[in-house]
Amino acid sequence: MTVLAHPGRAGTGLTGTGVLATLAIRRDRIGLAAAVYVITAGVAGTAWTLKRLYPTPAGRAALAGTAGANPALRFLYGRLDGTSLGSITTWRYGVWAGLFAALVAIFVVIRHTRSDEEAGRLELAGSAAVGRQAPLVAALVTAAAGVGAVSVLLCAVLPLTGLPAAGSALLALGIGCCGLAFTGIAAVAAQLASAARAARGIALGVLGVAFVLRGVGDAAGASGPSWLSWASPLAWIQLARPFAASDPWVLALPLAVGAAGTGLAFALAAHRDQGAGLLPARPGRATASAALRGPFGLAWRLQRGALAGWAAGYAFIFAVCGAAAKGIGQLLGTSTALEREFTRLGGQAAITNAYLAALMLLAGLVAAAYAVSVIGRLRAEETGEAAEPVLATATGRVRWALSHIAVAAGGAALLLAVAGVAAGLGYGLRTGSAGTWVARMTGAALGQLPSAVVLAAVAIALFGLLPRASVGGAWTALGLVVVISLFGQALQLSHWILDLSPFTHAPRLPGGPVQAAPLLWLCAVALALSAAGLAGLRRRDIG
Amino acid sequence: MANAIEIRALRKSFGRTTALDGLDLEVRAGEVHAFLGPNGAGKTTTIRILLGLLRKDAGQAELLGGDPWRDAVALHRRLAYVPGDVTLWPGLTGGEIIDLLGRLRGGLDPKRRQALTERFALDPAKKARAYSKGNRQKVALIAALASDAELLLLDEPTAGLDPLMEATFRDCVTEERQHGRTVLLSSHILAEAEALSDRVTIIRDGRTVETGTLAEMRHLTRDLVDAETAGPVRLDALPGVHDLVTDGLRVRCEVDHGALDEVLGRLHQAGVRTLTCRPPTLEELFLRHYSAERTGAGAPR
């Protein structure tokens, strides 16, 4: 059989990995670079700010005392290990940088494995001279390159802020290793489900469980189940104790998880068909329920899953952040610079109110992001051509658009209400006046609603008038508003720029005055922008 | 009876690309009308203007006696549409989508829905992301056929169907015509048009090149004969034989249906070595008959 002896150039399961990895990195170059920059700048910026806020050992010791005594803060940030600047930086940002690195790993791995497979792109690539394992290896390489870049950059940048080099390296490696652990976990998730959404859900679920395990373990203190932290890859960053009694061997744990996950993923991938998952795809209803009626029923059906996820996240985060408000005054008081700033605002109660108001501003900004993403679905349906069969029925364009707009506005209102109730419960239960605070905080949160809706209305106007630029334009507008709202005063921007952000006109609650006029103006602007967008939609071509 | 669709000198361009360049189309109520043209001829653009998704630049377009742009919603209650490339929501099942589209249109007959689902052998409990292209096509077809719309706009509806399902589809369209429904069937497959339609409109580069019944377009239904014989054969004097090319013992020609018997008889006498006989593809027809149209040099033979 001499003919079969040379079937062509020999190939292995890895043939083509280099080409696919280059393609993946090229497709991700902007997003991945931005994510790496944000994580690195976040850690380095935290170190820099803390150095300015807590210059003296006495101030840092006071901070350590307060942070150590507050279980809600331990839940959010982890355990504070020592009083050096490096320890405080690790406490304040270590867990969260690890969380962000894990998110990067999850999104990159799923995007280049299951998403491509579901869309049929891997089938096309796989028909070329590409080995069976090449796409998975290429995805792992891309994710590892991203989290590895974070580690390398932090190793280089952190010592520049004055932190010891050895501790900086251990913190940087810990964050990178956490990303690698979740690279392996995401690789397994990509094999389990046949839909990318479900695979992402599995991996994010593991990340959520890891956060809660670590949070409960860290909040528990010596008498409670503090061993729970050891079960969470997010805790291993602090358990390696950078800037304290360095235990670098702890980082073998995330590396082992990453390696085990990768091995398991390869084993699973070798035993399944292209396009199939290990979890069976469940059959659904053969007929539509009575609720799936009309464009509003459809929009609700398409968006309800995401809204439920957002609401759960809101409830959790704002309950914890609300609970952390108790004692926030003492915490801030440990920095003389901050204390000066805040006593100028009016003392203990004012500090708590300012913290809660800032929390509600965040809730408003994120609710605006949610609303913008919902409006973006309109354009996605239009270009994906799923809107065509709907618009070919007795559904007018305006009704079709209004169905998603209703979800955007109603969803933003729901999220803000959840944020208010959760923060009110979190703070109220700890101070023993839950009823008062739930009502107060719900009002404070809903005060942000008109501002969030104005941003959704900007997205609607762009969708109707400049459809091609609408998604990018809406997110750019949101980004500018976030920068103005969070950093505008620190950057000393002039008044007319600050006034451009709708959140500048929202009431600062709790504690601030409420005026009807700005809220009514915001509503009027939102209505005018939406009407302009819908008028544009009625006149333009679809597609 | 009035025309279901009446289009005169319709124009539409996207930026610098001209999609429709003076298109005419007339579909009579109660007929199955085939709308033929090669890819990119403007069939989908025409249908999207009829659906009010696109706005015409110039010309007239009338649908069921109304203006497709202005009266879109009212008109859509009376028609059903199957897109050429069916995109569905991945998280919904086929059954849910059929019901949803029916409700959006103003109702559908559950008995017909059930019968059609069985005829097309569709599993309605599967999520749309698990459907093949053919199955997505079936979802849209069942939703359209189960409605009681008076006009069906079908844009290359058999593109992903296997031959068995294509036959089912043809049966369904024949039944719809018997029930008095009007069908506009866009296609680039001539055989499909021949099997189903009363009248045909052929377009190319956004312009109508020919319209009428298939009997009026006999030259489109000639067969292509390609044969190799043992001895020489003379076909050039025969009526009904066109475009004869003789290459040694090989002959190629177009033959009218009526002359086929005579041609095959002569080939048989000469001793047939190889023989193929097939209808021309639409692309071949365009190449032969209409390539001169673009430059305006001559009319079709």
Q: What is the CATH number of the domain that holds B79?
A: 3.40.50.300
pLDDT at B294: 47
The single residue listed with the structure tokens 């950093």 is A487
Residue A490 DSSP label: T
Q: Is A119 on the interface with B (CB under 8 A)?
A: no
Residue B300: pLDDT band (50, 70, 90) is very low
Q: Is A280 on the interface with B (CB under 8 A)?
A: no
Tell me the mean pLDDT in the region A110-116: 90
**Which B residues 151-190 touch A at CB under 8 Å?**
153
pLDDT at A323: 85
pLDDT at A353: 86
Which residues does chain B have within 8 Å of residue A286's beta carbon, measured at their own beta carbons? 93, 95, 124-125
Stretch among A224-228, A384-388, A413-417, B126-130 having the lowest mean pLDDT:
A224-228
Tell me the mean pLDDT in the region A354-365: 89
Sign of the four-CA dihedral B165, B166, B171, B176: positive
Which residues does chain A have within 8 Å of residue B79's beta carbon, measured at their own beta carbons? 392
Residue A280 DSSP label: P
Q: Is B5 on the interface with A (CB under 8 A)?
A: no
pLDDT at A352: 83
What are the phi and psi torsion angles at B42 (to 5°)? 115, 10
Query: Sheet holding B32-36: strands in order across?
Result: B79-82, B151-155, B182-187, B32-36, B199-204, B207-213
Burial of B238 (0-12, 13-18, 19+ CB in 10 A): middle
Which residues does chain A have within 8 Å of residue B95's beta carbon, measured at their own beta carbons? 284-288
Q: Which residues pair with B208 in a beta bridge?
A: B203
pLDDT at A363: 93
Report DSSP letters for chain B, one per residue. --EEEEEEEEEEEETTEEEEEEEEEEEETT-EEEEE--TTSSHHHHHHHHTTSS--SEEEEEETTB-TTTTHHHHHTTEEEE-SS----TTSBHHHHHHHHHHHHT---HHHHHHHHHHTT--TTSBGGG--HHHHHHHHHHHHHTS--SEEEEESTTTT--HHHHHHHHHHHHHHHHTT-EEEEEES-HHHHHHH-SEEEEEETTEEEEEEETGGGGGGSPEEEEEEESS----TT-TTEEEEEEETTEEEEEE-GGGHHHHHHHHHHH-EEEEEEEPPPHHHHIIIIIHHHHHT-----
pLDDT at A255: 96
Residue A4: pLDDT band (50, 70, 90) is very low
Residue A423: pLDDT band (50, 70, 90) is very high
**B182 and B242: one domain?**
no
- Write down the pTM of the prediction: 0.79
Tell me the mean pLDDT in the region A196-214: 87
Q: Looking at the 3D structure of chain B, how many domains does it have?
A: 2
Contact A294 B103 (CB under 8 A): yes
Q: Is residue B69 part of a domain?
A: yes
Average pLDDT value over all residues in chain A = 88
Q: How far is A211 from chain B (nearest CA, A)?
A: 29
Tell me the mean pLDDT in the region A29-45: 89
Which residues does chain A have within 8 Å of residue B125's beta carbon, measured at their own beta carbons? 283-286
pLDDT at A42: 85
pLDDT at A345: 54
Q: Is A539 on the interface with B (CB under 8 A)?
A: yes
Which residue type does B184 have?
L
Q: Is residue B292 part of a domain?
A: no
3-state DSSP assignment of residue A89 = helix
C-alpha triplet A70, A72, A73: angle, nearest 5°: 70
Tell me the mean pLDDT in the region A496-518: 91
Q: Is residue B199 part of a domain?
A: yes
**B236 and B211: one domain?**
no
Query: Sheet holding B250-255: strands in order across?
Result: B241-247, B250-255, B223-229, B272-278
Contact A292 B83 (CB under 8 A): no
Q: Is residue B185 part of a domain?
A: yes
- How many Cα atoms occupy the beta-carbon half-sphere of A493 within 13 Å? 17
Kindly list the distances between the CA atom of residue B209 and the CA atoms of A78, A493, B37, B197, B292, in Å, as whole numbers in the listed order: 76, 65, 10, 18, 11
Q: Is residue B297 part of a domain?
A: no
Kindly list the distances between the CA atom of residue B13 and the CA atoms of B5, B42, B49, in Å, as whole numbers in the listed order: 21, 10, 12
* Cβ contact A253:A191 at 8 Å: no
Residue A287 has pLDDT above 60, yes or no: yes
Which residue type does A497 have?
I
**B135 and B254: one domain?**
no
**B195 and B170: one domain?**
yes
Stretch among A384-393, B192-201, B214-223 having the lowest mean pLDDT:
B214-223
Q: How far is A385 from chain B (nearest CA, A)?
A: 6
Interface size between A and B, measured as CB pairs under 8 A: 116
Please give the share of chain B, as a percent, with pLDDT higher than 70: 92
CA distance linking residue A237 with residue A210, whole number of Å: 13
Q: How far is B89 from chain A (nearest CA, A)?
A: 7
Q: Is residue B294 part of a domain?
A: no
Question: Which residues make Cβ contacts (< 8 Å) with residue A226, sequence separation at least 6?
Answer: A217, A218, A220
Residue A179 has pLDDT above 80, yes or no: yes
Residue A512: pLDDT band (50, 70, 90) is confident
Which residue type does B194 have?
E
Kindly list the distances between the CA atom of residue A50 and the CA atoms of A490, B63, B81, B237, in Å, as whole numbers in the listed order: 16, 70, 63, 101
**B211 and B233: one domain?**
no
Q: Which residues pair with B254 in a beta bridge?
A: B224, B242
pLDDT at A436: 92
Q: Is A201 on the interface with B (CB under 8 A)?
A: no
CA distance linking residue A275 with residue A277, whole number of Å: 7
Which residues does chain A have within 8 Å of residue B126's beta carbon, measured at their own beta carbons? 283-284
Tell me the mean pLDDT in the region A203-230: 84
Report DSSP letters for A133-167, one per residue. THHHHHHHHHHHHHHHHHHHHHHHHGGGGT--HHH
* Cβ contact A131:A13 at 8 Å: yes
3-state SS string for A295-329? HHHHHHHHHHHHHHHHHHHHHHHHHHHHHCCCCHH
pLDDT at B295: 44
Which residues does chain B have within 8 Å of residue A298's beta carbon, measured at their own beta carbons? 89, 100, 104
pLDDT at B298: 37
Contact A541 B55 (CB under 8 A): yes
CA distance linking residue A251 with residue A179, whole number of Å: 12
pLDDT at A454: 97
**Which B residues 77-116 touch A at CB under 8 Å?**
77, 79, 81, 83, 85-93, 95-101, 103-106
Please give the share of chain A, as a percent, with pLDDT higher than 70: 93
Average pLDDT value over all residues in chain B = 88
Q: Is A497 on the interface with B (CB under 8 A)?
A: no
Q: Is B63 on the interface with A (CB under 8 A)?
A: no
Which residues does chain B have within 8 Å of residue A288's beta carbon, measured at their own beta carbons? 95-100, 103
**B83 and B201: one domain?**
yes
Q: Is B121 on the interface with A (CB under 8 A)?
A: no
**B179 and B61: one domain?**
yes
Closest chain A residue to B140 measured between Cα atoms?
A389
Give the tokens for residue A232: 């969470």
pLDDT at B170: 93
pLDDT at A1: 39
Tell me the mean pLDDT in the region A211-232: 82
**B116 and B192: one domain?**
yes
* Cβ contact A446:A409 at 8 Å: no
* Cβ contact A475:A372 at 8 Å: yes
Please write the tens of the pLDDT for every residue from A476-485. Answer: 899 899 888 8
Give the tokens for residue B113: 């829905």
Q: Is A543 on the interface with B (CB under 8 A)?
A: yes
* Cβ contact A455:A481 at 8 Å: yes
Buried residues in B113-130 as b, exposed as e (16+ CB within 10 A) = beebbebbebebebbbbb
Residue A64: pLDDT band (50, 70, 90) is confident
> How many residues can be counted in chain A?
543
Stretch among A176-180, A445-449, B149-153, B295-299 having the lowest mean pLDDT:
B295-299
pLDDT at B173: 94
pLDDT at A276: 76
Q: Is residue B111 part of a domain?
A: yes
Contact B48 A543 (CB under 8 A): yes
Number of neighbouring beta carbons within 10 Å of residue B140: 25
Residue A446: pLDDT band (50, 70, 90) is very high
Q: Is residue B263 part of a domain?
A: yes
pLDDT at A191: 92
Give the tokens for residue A489: 């005063």
* Cβ contact B181:B152 at 8 Å: yes
Number of neighbouring beta carbons within 10 Å of residue B161: 19
pLDDT at A125: 76
Stretch among A99-113, A216-230, B279-293 having the lowest mean pLDDT:
B279-293
CA distance linking residue A1 with residue A176, whole number of Å: 51
Which residue type does A495 have?
H
Q: How far is B98 from chain A (nearest CA, A)?
A: 8
Closest chain B residue to A292 measured between Cα atoms?
B100
CA distance linking residue A452 with residue B202, whole number of Å: 53
pLDDT at A193: 84
Domain region containing B270: 222-278
Q: What is the CATH number of the domain that holds B237?
A: 3.30.70
Query: What distance, in Å, lies between the first and last C-alpha atoms of chain A?
Result: 56
pLDDT at A3: 43
CA distance linking residue A441 with residue A423, whole number of Å: 7
Question: Which residues make Cβ contacts (< 8 Å) with residue A47, sequence separation at least 6?
Answer: A85, A86, A89, A158, A161, A162, A163
Residue B296: pLDDT band (50, 70, 90) is very low
Closest CA to A106 of A211, A30, A205: A205
pLDDT at B47: 95
pLDDT at B63: 95
Residue A5 has pLDDT above 70, yes or no: no
3-state SS string for A380-409? HHHHCCCHHHHHCCCCCHHHHHHHHHHHHH
**B192 and B66: one domain?**
yes
CA distance linking residue B26 with residue A365, whole number of Å: 55
Residue B154: pLDDT band (50, 70, 90) is very high
Report DSSP letters for B8-75, one per residue. EEEEEEETTEEEEEEEEEEEETT-EEEEE--TTSSHHHHHHHHTTSS--SEEEEEETTB-TTTTHHHH
Residue A2 has pLDDT above 50, yes or no: no
C-alpha triplet A520, A525, A531: angle, nearest 5°: 125
Give the tokens for residue B83: 């897109």
**B140 and B263: one domain?**
no
* Cβ contact A47:A163 at 8 Å: yes
Stretch among A270-274, A463-467, A497-501, B68-72 having the lowest mean pLDDT:
A270-274
Please write the tens of the pLDDT for every residue from B14-68. Answer: 988 999 999 999 999 999 999 998 888 899 999 999 999 999 999 999 999 999 9
Please write the tens of the pLDDT for every residue from A394-411. Answer: 999 999 999 999 999 999
Stretch among A253-267, A284-298, A516-530 having the lowest mean pLDDT:
A284-298
CA distance linking residue A259 with residue B181, whole number of Å: 64
Residue A11 has pLDDT above 70, yes or no: no
Residue A92: pLDDT band (50, 70, 90) is confident
**B40 and B178: one domain?**
yes
Whether cis (ω within 30° of 0) applies to the bond prior to A510 is yes
Closest chain B residue to A286 measured between Cα atoms?
B125
Please give the share of chain A, as a percent, with pLDDT higher than 90: 50
Residue A261 has pLDDT above 80, yes or no: yes
Q: Which of A115, A393, A400, A403 best tests the B interface by mutation, with the highest count of B CBs <10 A?
A: A393
Tell me the mean pLDDT in the region A349-367: 87
Which residue type does A526 have?
A
Stretch among A55-64, A530-539, B288-297 having the lowest mean pLDDT:
B288-297
Residue B282: pLDDT band (50, 70, 90) is low
**B52 and B197: one domain?**
yes
Q: How far is B8 from chain A (nearest CA, A)?
A: 20
Q: Is A283 on the interface with B (CB under 8 A)?
A: yes
